[in-house]
Amino acid sequence: MEEPDQTPRSGADGRSTRWEAHRARRRGEILDAALAAIDEEGPEVGVRRIAERIGAPRSAVYRHFRDRADLDGRIRRRALDSLLAELGPTLEPDGTVLCAIRRSVDAYLSWIAAHPQRYAFLSAGEHGGRSPDTEGTKAVIAHRAGTVFKAVLRALGKDDAGLAVPLASGLVGFVDATVDNWLAGRPDTAASAPLAEFLTRSVWAVLDGNLRALGVQLAPDQRVSAILGD
């Protein structure tokens, strides 16, 4: 029996690849338009307003997403990516322990001050239904912080005994709840220095207390690189 022809149909494959690339670009344009609309009009912005920003009918948006839940999930992922682009580098251990904490706090508050409506949109996703395409914002940040905590404990010769992950989650939850309460008072977001100081001291106090319980004493001015042996 003659074997079937397995030769790739390069023309068809090329057209498929170009079409997928076009769809990906279009989805990116829609998501960027959605973030711009949220920045200007708030987290409750409708799909029609998003569509107007790309010069297309509402139906054109839904050609690229399953439904509104899928669209919202992808928007949250885009907003989260923009947050992590600023916050992510500060979660890498550098400088003194206290400076490392303050740098992360400052980056977080600066992003919120620049994008208060995106933060509100992400927060709504935390407490409402999330798309499977989107990890919770706090979970992503806590995972990054937990990785650093594990590395520090390991460098100090301590088994984290399951402490690093809940410690990171608790601290991220504390910071998030404090910021939410601060924003509810409609403060001048440019005047966030006292809040940053409070959060920095509080995070250090929790870390210090838990480390002491493990028999570890760190000075706040100790360099992280010295702890990790870099």
Question: Does 95 have pLDDT greater than 90?
Answer: no
pLDDT at 90: 81
Q: What is the 3-state secondary structure (H, E, C) of the chain?
A: CCCCCCCCCHHHHHHHHHHHHHHHHHHHHHHHHHHHHHHHHCCCCCHHHHHHHCCCCHHHHHCCCCCHHHHHHHHHHHHHHHHHHHHHHHHCCCCEHHHHHHHHHHHHHHHHHHCHHHHHHHHHHHHCCCCCCCCCHHHHHHHHHHHHHHHHHHHCCCCCCCCHHHHHHHHHHHHHHHHHHHHHCCCCCCCCHHHHHHHHHHHHHHHHHHHHHCCCCCCCCCEHHHHHCC
pLDDT at 53: 92
pLDDT tens-digit series, residues 27-76: 999 999 999 999 999 999 999 999 999 998 998 888 888 888 999 999 99
pLDDT at 75: 93
Q: What is the mean pLDDT of residues 181-195?
A: 75
pLDDT at 189: 58
